[in-house]
Amino acid sequence: MKFRILTIFLLSMPLASAMAQDSGSKTLAATIDVFVFPGAGQDAAKQSQDEVECYNWATSNTGSDPFELTKLAAAQETDTANAKKSAEQVGTGAGAGGAVKGAAVGALIGEIADDDASKGAAYGAAAGLIAGRRQGRAARQQAEAQAEQQGQQKQAATEEQITNFKKAFSVCLEAKEYMVKY
Based on the fold, state whether residues 157 and 168 are members of the same structural domain. Answer: no
pLDDT, tens digit (0-9, with 9 covering 90-100), for 82-141: 888 887 776 665 656 666 666 666 665 655 666 666 766 666 667 777 777 787 788 788
| 170 occurs within a structural domain | yes
Based on the fold, state whether residues 49 and 100 are members of the same structural domain. Answer: no
| 80 occurs within a structural domain | no
Q: What is residue 106's predicted lDDT score, i.e. its pLDDT?
A: 60
In the chain, the number of structural domains is: 2
| 78 occurs within a structural domain | no
Domain boundaries, position 114: 88-161
29-38, 55-64, 121-130, 135-144: least confident range: 121-130
CA distances from 34 to 40, 43, 110, 167 (A): 18, 18, 74, 10
| 73 occurs within a structural domain | no
Whether the CA torsion 171, 175, 181, 182 is positive or negative: it is negative
| 81 occurs within a structural domain | no
| 57 occurs within a structural domain | yes
* 68 vs 16, higher pLDDT: 68
Threshold 0.85, pTM exceeds: no
DSSP one-letter code for 124 = H
Based on the fold, state whether residues 52 and 8 are members of the same structural domain. Answer: yes
Task: Share the mean pLDDT of the chain.
Answer: 79
CB atoms closer than 10 angstroms to residue 109: 16
